[in-house]
Amino acid sequence: MDYLLSFLIVTGAAFTFIGSLGLARLKDFYTRLHGPTKATTLGVGCVLVASAVYFSLHEDGISLHEILVTLFLFITAPVSAHLLSKAALHQQLDSLTPRKGKADSNLNERR
Amino acid sequence: YAAWAAGLFTLLGLAQLAPRIPAVFDGHTTIERWEWMPASGLDLVFRLDGLGLLFALLILGIGLLIVLYARYYLSARDSMGRFYSYLMLFMGAMLGIALSENIIQLLVFWELTSIASFLLISYWQHREDARQGARMALAITGAGGLAMLGGFVLLGEIAGSYELSVILASGETIKAHPLYLPMLVLVLLGAFTKSAQFPFHFWLPNAMAAPTPVSAYLHSATMVKAGVFLMARLFPALSGTPEWSWLVGSVGLATFLVGAFIALFQHDLKGLLAYSTISHLGLITVLFGIGTPLAAVAGVFHIINHAIFKASLFMAAGIIDHESGSRDMRRLNGLWKYMPHTALLAMVAAASMAGVPLLNGFLSKEMFFAEAVSAGTHFQLGWLLPAVITVGGIFAVAYSFRFIHDVFFNGEPIDLPKTPHEPTRWMKIPVEFLVALCLLVGILPALTVEPILYVAATGLLQTTPPDFDLAIWHGVNPALVMSVLAMLGGGVLYAFRARLFACHEKYCGRIVGKQLFDGLMSALFALARGLTALLDRGTLQRIVLSFVLSVLVLGVAGFLGSGSPLTGQRGLLPLDGISLIAAIGLILAAIGTVVMHRERFTALVLIGAVGLVVALIFVKFSAPDLALTQLSVEIVTIVLLMLALYFLPQRPARQSGNPRVLRDVAVAAAAGMGAGLLAWSVLTRPYETIAGYFLDNAKPGGGGYNVVNVILVDFRGFDTLGEIAVLALAALGIFAMLEHLHLPAPRSDSQGRPWNWDMHPAVMASLTRLLLPLALLVSIFILLRGHNLPGGGFIAGLVTAVALIMQYLANGVTWTQSRLPGNMHPVIGIGLLIATLTGLGSWLVGHPFLTSTFTYLDWPVVGKFEVASALAFDLGVYLVVVGATLLILIHLGLMHSTSQERSQLPEEGR
Amino acid sequence: MNHLVIAPVLLPLLAGLVLLLLRPLTIGPRRLLSLLAVAAQVLLAILLLRQVGGGDILTYALGDWAPPFGIVLVVDRLAAWMLLVTALLALFALLYGVRGIDTRGRHFHVLFQWQLFGLNGAFLTGDLFNLFVFFEILLLASYGLLLHGGGRLRTRAGLHFVVINLAGSTLFLFAVGTLYGILGTLNMADLARQVAMLPPEHLGPVKAAGLLLFGVFALKGALIPLHLWLPGAYANTSAPVAALFAIMTKVGAYSILRLDTLIFGAAAGSLSGLISGWVLPLALATLVVGMLGVLAATALRQQIAYLVVASVGSLLTAFGLGSSAGIAAGLYYLPHATFAAGAFFLLAGSISRRRGEHDDHFLPGVMLTDRIVLGTLFFLVAVLIAGLPPLSGFIGKWLTLKAAVDHAWMPWVLAVVLGTSLLAVIAMARSGNVLFYRSEAPEANRPTVRTERLSRELLPAAGLVALCLALVIWAGPVDEFTRATADQLLAPETYVRAVLGTDLAPGVRPGVEP
Amino acid sequence: MNRLLPHPLLTLVLALIWVLLVNELSAGAIILGLLLGWAIPLFTRAFWPERVAIRRPLTLLRFIIVVLGDIVIANFVVAGRILLGPRHVHPAFVAIPLDLETDLAISLLANTICLTPGTVSAQLSPDRSQLLVHALNTTDPEDVVRTIKQRYEAPLKKVFES
Amino acid sequence: MEALVSLVIGVLTACGVYLALRARTFPVVLGLTLLSYAVNLFLFTMGRLTIGQPPVIDAAAGGYADPLPQALVLTAIVISFAMTAFVIMLSLKARAELGNDHVDGRDDR
Amino acid sequence: MIETALYIAFTLVGLAVALAFWRLLRGPSAPDRILALDTLYVNTIALLVLFGIHLGNNIYFEAALLIALMGFVGTVALCKYLLRGDIIE
Ligand code: NA
Ligand code: NA
């Protein structure tokens, strides 16, 4: 069981790290956005599962409330990402992709 | 009626005094006492001895005449009631001076006379000179009174009592005390200013703007005598030292000369009399300065005589002014023809002033000359004293001549506003009475004045006075020679007046005390303004800077002054990598906030990171409750800051120049070092606290496992009650403050981009709605478990508030507001009420406020659970937090819409 | 256990709560309720004063937790005296406020009551951190009150006031924290005990903390150079609020006195006198600076504000003498200065509303309506403030000088107190002259003032003046009381024994089993 | 029923979450959870005007499993790209035409897109006909559109809008 | 560790003081916020630093951190929150009434 | 075993925190900083949970839950500010 735990812990931490690495390393905002929103959800998810397992083993009764945090992150992280990219588009931040006229013209709004 | 009442009042005073007179003549001192502040040695104690009696009689007697005179002097437009009430205030105060046993009490009356004088001088408020004269008099005599207060406090300390009986009996102790000289100087300052001694004399001529009855009464007969009275009163205690003689004698002499000299050159009738008064007060002062008992007796005698002739002269001058419309001697001429009766009276009084034999002024002046001669024998160049005094006498005769000749003879009046004529009968009666006294005393001194002078001298000296002889003829002696010289010299001087006046005009016209005083005053005001402006710039930066610097000085002084080491002996914790990373992150973010504070949004994001790390520090060092609280507060604060930022400039111009920035950096660095070192010095020291008690008693006494929460709701629940009151107050204060506030909403962001069209992005809106029940559930969870595990009402309240704020964020004010109770005031009120009532509940069972109770219930199916009063308290906290946070945020959120659509405002009652 | 001890705290709290919950009511009943609550506080203060007048010290252990573990309220003579002064001042300020100013903004009465909640709590608490909490309550209430009615200058003054007080609160926490970090307790009596047995190697932080705490209180009390916040704040708020604020600086002075006599008092060993060494020089300097400000003022309320600064200087000069007589003098002077400043602010309100656009500026303006009555009252207040006989200002000044005679700083005290008194006289004469005697504008410019019953308008100010007169008439009993109070303060061991039940001497901390 | 128990499903979910929160499975916890699960929806009724109806629970379950699997895959894919470095990233914006109509469904789709392979939903057009998506690494935008529509939009449409 | 915490407190104080000395309301508010962080940390650490021993009674616990400073800081946080909220709103009011965001209402741009 | 794993994990998450801080300070755009802060929040959750396992005490669970909630609200509010200025309208 310790192996599973250790695996979860290290995997989770690794994903967390990679997410932040993407944040630091990638070249434009839109690509940077991908790292934290995805990598960290799984990363933190793994760590939380590890915690659930750990406390279920080490204390009497199972511990499942970590699932709540995971659930919560799964609902919120995409919303944050969505809003961030919306804000970035609004600010007309440079993107590595030359934006295609067709896709934006009706999206890149002005009401 | 006012005059009648005042007269009656004065008569009543005399009637009160009368039965007590015989005792005084029998040599008794009557003392009457009413307890006031016995513990501090201040009772209302009155003392009637000869000196006091003499003054009381002068005050009441002349007062009665003045009351009569003023009744006819004042015009119908003047407010009689005001005048007489001031006058009676003065009379009472003056009597108080004369009859006080306690010197502090004496001082009280002393200052009251200054105040009354101020009121009476400024009686004609519309006149600039009256207002200025009054303020000058108040400033000078007030200053003297304050000096005297200092002197009296010292005197009381030296003598061991404030009461004259003790003070007068302990002259030797007083004179030998090291504080004698400062005390003497302070007391004399009081006396000199009041009695218009040089160089404080100039207020008196300026006080002549007062109605003439006032000048006659206060500024010649009585109030200005208070100073010499004081010298007389304290004569046995203070006099007889070289300091006394030199101070009093030289000031008196200077005053005598200066007054007499200036008096001659006055063109204003009252001005002449005023300077003459100054001169005579100097004369009296010289007599007290000489310090022999006989000189003191002469001084008292001249007080009486001067009061009589000078009061009559002032009243006569008042009549002339009243009936001719002018006091300018250059215009007043030949009045003998128009008002012979008045002229006669004035001339007799003026002759007395000049020291013409058979008049009272002659007698005391003779004594003065005689004392001057005898005093002069005691020191080298002693002959100078009588010589100089003779010169003064020459001027005195000259101005008296002028008063007679220039007004009543010397041709025809020039351009007078009115044709002069005799006044009403009643106006002359007081003058007649006083002139009659001049004659009576002058001719029959032994029958009239000697008894009262004797008891007065007894009271003054506190012992049997030396023999004195009030005869008119003492044979040819130096004094007589001086008198004759003065008479002749005066006549000659007056004869050459034209040339003299021209000369005076040329050389002395400029030197006026008033200008000096005014200059001093404007300098004082300028200094005050300058210094105040230097300190108080009215800028917040200055306020904060002075605070920080003061704190630094205090803290550094405290620590360095103690000599204890900076670092203590406690074992320290090892450092770990994550802590280091987090701390560096925090430090960089904090510095980033500072560096980028003009990019306000960035600063805001950075401060968010700082707050997060602070929460992490709480986690790291075993404070889960704090971490929870910090996290929640942090977000609400950031939301608030953003709401505010919307209305503030986004990228303001740089404000401060480099020097100021450098200075502030230095100050801030010093403050930071101070705080850091203080923390270090404590953290490295071992300590012992009361914490053990809380850990031991939290469960058995407070019914909770979470000791922090038990402290909050139980051990120190009172703090928490206060804390939620603060929160409620903040909400109410903000609510009150934001009312009617209109702020222009910016139409674009800091880079000039117009705002996004999408008010409430759909993705956000629908998913945050989903989160609401979840967040509420979490908040209830945190509320309920708080007593035993990290959590509690405050955090729960913030979570609820944040959950609701999220709805506002995602769905907007209008949408959310319509789904919530519109008015948050009752929520706050009820929350606070619940908390308070929970505390009050313990009264019912006979315990102090906020005593907690808890019990365990065991219900079927549900199982065993705890019920604690602390939970009710925490519920109160919860409600206040929710109510207050929402009230603040919502109102702000509503603010910009208020200008557009006021109707949408939720109805919040006043 | 005597619930009377906590009553002065709970009453305004509950009154404010009820007023908050009864907002739907019309203003009339709420005014009545508010007034009744304050009147009841006067009664409570008198009752407490009678109970402690004999020298007893009453304590009230909140939550039934024995001190030093729980918070304790303590009533000694000083606390009762402060309560009474506060309640009386508040009563008259409120009487002025209910004449219409209370409806110029929201929540006036709630804020007012909670202001009293904070003040009374600050005077009663025997716990340093709880004092912080009550400071915050009274500050927040004062922020609200200060801004009440709104306006440009008021807002600016409010901003300055709030920011500097936030800085002050921060400092308070630094100081309290340090004291706890070394001494391990918050109860003031216990702090006194711990300070008394502090090992010398720990003096540094405690000394620094003590002085920082002094800095906090000096800020509240407006000692220079920490007085700069006061003129703006006091000069720009509404009359009843400014009047009530007359007590706020005294909270600072009170706290300095407590700190000086209890925690760093006679028994504090090498820390004894830590505070008093700073108080006297700063107080004298404050007196000078304040009075120069009085002279320099260009408007009446600004002048009164500086008078408040100066009065703090006078008050702390007396306290700073450190002797029983000095403290007693200060305790006599305290109500005088409070009531006089309060009356003056109320009067200034009445004067300025009659001067139209001239407001309270020292410019020759219109001839005032009701000039005689206002002038008389102004004159009385000026005499009070300038410390001229025969009113209470003089007695206070005299008592201070008397106490200073055998102090090493006697010449300085004498020179400064007397010199500044002269400045006060000069300044008051000038102000009265400009406001009442000089009128250079035509009568037509006179603002039409709704002079609904002048007596009612001036009653509050006159009442405060009457209180000062009472201080003169009953100077004897007051003098004896303040002397007894001073003696009680100079014997901190009685306080410690009353609170902790143990002596100040070193010993085991009560309740902590080894 | 409607007034007293506005969202029975939500009640159950909340009760379940409550039991998770208190981290103990006891009668007391369940009862309190049900109680809160009943009370909170009642209180927040105004925020949930329409009752959420789930037509095909099985489809939803399958959808959730698919998404969870994709999340894991997505994470590995993105992690790989990040580790490979910026030069191995070929981002693109892709517009997805939408068939979904309700806000909740669109939001869930947007969320799903965010959680799954290399895509972040960036912006919804005002008329809700198009969703702009940013793909981390794609050479074929049409493929992205196709995958999203088939794999995620279709089941959501079935569950919430049929 | 103690040195690091002291450093953090010092830096927060310094940054707070510097910002509080600025001439515009917004940085002043930020400065006060930083100062409140500093003082809260300071007050908290007065119970000394303890790792992994939260003051929640637990039979298994080896010891407890001093709970009293924690309770005090909690109160202090709430109070400084109330104060910060107040000063933020006041800065808005000042902006509205004075027409600019200078702390003295001077607009010398 | 677990201790080693935790040690590695702490190191990785610590580095993640450092990277997030770097981006936070570096920017360059406002959304970048918000994203960095959001990431910081999420990393903190991981840190807390690891810390809980390390201590064998899950008393910090609620802190993690709250960080998730608060981090979300913060990010949403900051984004809303960039989009609309007025976050509560
Ligand atoms: Na003539
Ligand atoms: Na004074």
CA atoms within 13 A on the CB side of B430: 31
Element containing residue B25 per DSSP (H, E): helix B21-25
pLDDT interval class at C362 (50, 70, 90): confident
pLDDT interval class at B586 (50, 70, 90): very high
pLDDT interval class at E108 (50, 70, 90): low
Task: Examine the pLDDT at B569 and tell me if it is beyond 90.
Answer: no
Task: Report yes or no: F88 at the E interface, CB cutoff 8 Å.
Answer: no
Give the model confidence (pLDDT) of F32-70 as tens digits: 999 999 999 999 999 999 999 998 888 888 889 899 999
- Which of C3, C484, C201 lies closest to B570, judged by CA? C201
d(CA C302, CA C232) in angstroms, rounded, equals 7
| Angle, helix E67-98 to helix C152-183, in steps of 10 degrees | 170
Task: Examine the pLDDT at C495 and tell me if it is beyond 90.
Answer: yes
Q: What percent of chain B has pLDDT over 90?
A: 50
Residues of C with Cβ-Cβ distance to B673 under 8 angstroms = none
**CB-based contact D36 B807, cutoff 8 Å:** no
> What's the whole-number mean pLDDT along residues C123-140?
96
Distance from CA of C178 to the nearest CA of E (A): 7
- Mutation site for B-interface testing, chosen from D11, D12, D18, D21 by largest number of B Cβ within 10 Å: D21
Give the model confidence (pLDDT) of C44-66 as tens digits: 999 999 999 999 999 999 988 98
Residues of B with Cβ-Cβ distance to A83 under 8 angstroms = 761, 763-764
The SS3 of residue E56 is strand
Q: What percent of chain C has pLDDT over 90?
A: 74
> Helices (H), strands (E): how many in chain E?
3, 0
Element containing residue D162 per DSSP (H, E): none
Give the model confidence (pLDDT) of F14-35 as tens digits: 999 999 999 999 878 999 999 9
Beta bridge partners, B45, equal B33
From first CA to last CA, the distance across chain E in angstroms is: 46
As a whole number, the mean pLDDT across chain C is 90
- Which of B99, B13, B93 lies closest to B53, judged by CA? B99
- Which of B689, B673, B678, B674 lies closest to B567, judged by CA? B678
Interface of B with A (CB under 8 A): 751, 753-754, 756-758, 761, 763-764, 767-768, 770-771, 774
Task: Examine the pLDDT at A106 and tell me if it is beyond 50.
Answer: no
Please tell me which residue, B62 or B816, carries the higher pLDDT value: B62
Please tell me which residue, B767 or B723, carries the higher pLDDT value: B723
Ligand 2 centroid from CA C313, angstroms: 8
> What's the whole-number mean pLDDT along residues B321-330?
89
Give the model confidence (pLDDT) of B115-147 as tens digits: 999 999 988 888 888 988 998 999 999 999 999
Looking at residue B615, its pLDDT comes to: 94
Tell which phi-psi region holds residue B846, choosing left (phi > 0), alpha (psi between -120 and 50) or beta: left
> What's the whole-number mean pLDDT along residues C413-440?
88
Name the residue of chain C whose CA is nearest to B726's CA: C137
* CB nearest to A111's CB, from D17, D95, D126: D126
Task: Examine the pLDDT at B279 and tell me if it is beyond 50.
Answer: yes
Within 8 A by CB and 6+ apart from B831, the residues are: B724, B728, B875, B876, B877, B878, B879, B880, B881, B882, B883
Task: Report yes or no: A57 at the F interface, CB cutoff 8 Å.
Answer: no
d(CA B352, CA F78) in angstroms, rounded, equals 98
- Which of C144, C156, C100 lies closest to C118, judged by CA? C144
| Angle, helix B869-900 to helix B825-844, in steps of 10 degrees | 160
Task: Report yes or no: F11 at the E interface, CB cutoff 8 Å.
Answer: no
**CB-based contact A17 F13, cutoff 8 Å:** yes
Looking at residue B897, its pLDDT comes to: 55
Show the DSSP H helices in C354-474 as ranges. Answer: 371-386, 392-404, 410-432, 454-473
- Which of C389, C374, C425 lies closest to B134, judged by CA? C425
Looking at residue C451, its pLDDT comes to: 57
Task: Examine the pLDDT at B689 and tell me if it is beyond 80.
Answer: yes
Task: Examine the pLDDT at B898 and tell me if it is beyond 60.
Answer: no
Looking at residue B153, its pLDDT comes to: 94
Please tell me which residue, B739 or B578, carries the higher pLDDT value: B578
- Mutation site for F-interface testing, chosen from A3, A5, A16 by largest number of F Cβ within 10 Å: A16
Task: Examine the pLDDT at D117 and tell me if it is beyond 50.
Answer: yes
Give Cα separations from B795 to A46, C228, E55 (angstroms).
Answer: 28, 38, 17
Most confident of the ranges A53-62, B87-96, B869-878? B87-96
Dihedral of alpha carbons B84, B87, B91, B97, sign = positive
Give the model confidence (pLDDT) of B615-669 as tens digits: 999 999 999 999 999 999 999 999 989 888 888 876 676 666 788 899 999 999 9
Q: Do residues D105 and D160 touch, judged by C-beta distance below 8 A?
A: yes
Neighbours, chain E (3 or more CB pairs < 8 A)? B, C, F
pLDDT interval class at D92 (50, 70, 90): confident
Looking at residue D45, its pLDDT comes to: 78
Looking at residue D80, its pLDDT comes to: 86
Ligand 1 centroid from CA B330, angstroms: 4
Q: Do residues A68 and A53 touch, judged by C-beta distance below 8 A?
A: no
Distance from CA of F47 to the nearest CA of E (A): 14
Give the model confidence (pLDDT) of B675-688 as tens digits: 999 999 999 999 88
pLDDT interval class at C449 (50, 70, 90): low
**CB-based contact C176 E43, cutoff 8 Å:** yes
Give Cα separations from C7 to B597, B843, C15, C38, C69 (angstroms).
Answer: 48, 12, 12, 12, 22
The neighbour count for residue B795, using CB atoms within 10 Å, is: 30
Task: Report yes or no: D144 at the A interface, CB cutoff 8 Å.
Answer: no
As a whole number, the mean pLDDT across chain B is 88
CA atoms within 13 A on the CB side of D120: 31
> What's the whole-number mean pLDDT along residues D21-38?
84
Looking at residue A108, its pLDDT comes to: 45
pLDDT interval class at B711 (50, 70, 90): very high
Residues of F with Cβ-Cβ distance to B782 under 8 angstroms = 62
Name the residue of chain B whose CA is nearest to C405's CA: B154
Burial bucket for residue B381 (CB in 10 Å: 0-12, 13-18, 19+): exposed
Q: Which two tokens stand for residue F60?
A: 């910090």
Ligand 1 centroid from CA B349, angstroms: 18
| Angle, helix B717-738 to helix B869-900, in steps of 10 degrees | 10
Task: Examine the pLDDT at B809 and tell me if it is beyond 70.
Answer: yes
DSSP B208-239: GGS-HHHHHIIIIISTTHHHHHHHHHTHHHH-
Give the model confidence (pLDDT) of B770-789 as tens digits: 888 888 999 999 898 888 88
Q: List phi, psi (to 5°) of B29.
A: -105, 120
Give the model confidence (pLDDT) of B589-618 as tens digits: 999 999 988 888 999 999 999 999 999 999
Looking at residue C511, its pLDDT comes to: 42
> What's the whole-number mean pLDDT along residues B725-729?
94
> What's the whole-number mean pLDDT along residues B563-568?
85
Residues measured by CB to lie within 5 Å of ligand 2, the ion: C 314
Looking at residue D12, its pLDDT comes to: 86
Residues of D with Cβ-Cβ distance to A65 under 8 angstroms = 20-23
SS (H, E, C) chain A: CHHHHHHHHHHHHHHHHHHHHHHHHCCCHHHHHHHHHHHHHHHHHHHHHHHHHHHHHHCCCCCCCHHHHHHHHHHHHHHHHHHHHHHHHHCCCCCCCCCCHHHHHCCCCCC
Q: Going by beta carbons, is chain B in contact with chain C, meaning 3 or more pairs sit under 8 Å apart?
A: yes
d(CA C159, CA C233) in angstroms, rounded, equals 9
Closest ligand, as measured to the CA of C287: 2
Task: Examine the pLDDT at A107 and tell me if it is beyond 60.
Answer: no
> What's the whole-number mean pLDDT along residues F2-13?
91
* CB nearest to A90's CB, from B756, B764, B768: B756
